[in-house]
């Protein structure tokens, strides 16, 4: 009977511990509507576009006070963004080094993101990050 009680107590303790650990890891889950389908697990990246058609090295020389600069490269060019917040930092951390990310986006989204009038304004990118280090941009919101 004592063996059964110890086994039962150990099982309950392990179950409670596992429940506490998994609920503590949960973050914000973003759902996005893409072509009529709901997509779960999108990233929401907020930051400021620092420069367009410049290199990461040039941006780092100009802004020595920040370490969160990322180069986003699209078929229409590249831009440097100072990333402030990311809703799913665990997913992002798998892809954040080196700080060069390939981007796929409709032309109008890329143009909105890199427009001169939006430089240094706060922007929010909603997208899906795949395991080929490519960010598929689904939406761009200018906040500032």
Query: Mind listing the pLDDT tens digit of every residue in the chain (144 residues)?
Result: 566 555 646 555 444 444 443 333 333 444 444 445 445 578 899 999 999 999 888 888 887 777 789 999 999 999 999 988 888 766 666 666 788 889 999 989 999 999 999 998 999 999 998 877 789 999 999 987
Q: What's the rounded Cα separation, in Å, for the pair 129 and 66?
A: 23
Question: Tokens 């060019």 appear where?
Answer: 77
Strand-pair partners of 122 = 48
Query: Within 13 A of 19's CA, how many CA atoms are on the CB side?
Result: 6
Q: Do residues 127 and 88 make contact, with C-beta atoms less than 8 angstroms apart?
A: no
Strand pairing report for 100-104 and 69-74: parallel
82: left (phi over 0), alpha (psi -120 to 50) or beta: beta
pTM: 0.67
């Amino acid at each position: 009977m004592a063996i059964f009680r110890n086994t039962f107590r150990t099982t309950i303790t392990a179950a409670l511990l596992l429940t506490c650990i998994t609920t503590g890891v949960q973050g914000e889950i973003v759902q996005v509507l893409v072509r009529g389908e709901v997509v779960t697990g999108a990233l929401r990246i907020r930051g400021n576009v620092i420069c367009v058609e410049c290199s990461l090295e040039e941006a780092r020389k100009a802004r020595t006070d920040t370490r969160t600069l990322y180069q986003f490269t699209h078929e229409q060019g590249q831009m440097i963004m100072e990333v402030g917040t990311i809703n799913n930092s665990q997913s992002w951390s798998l892809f954040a080094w080196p700080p060069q990310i390939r981007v796929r986006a409709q032309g109008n989204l890329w143009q909105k993101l890199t427009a001169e009038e939006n430089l240094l304004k706060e922007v929010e990118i909603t997208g899906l990050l795949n395991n080929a280090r490519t960010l598929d941009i689904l939406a761009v919101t200018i906040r500032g």
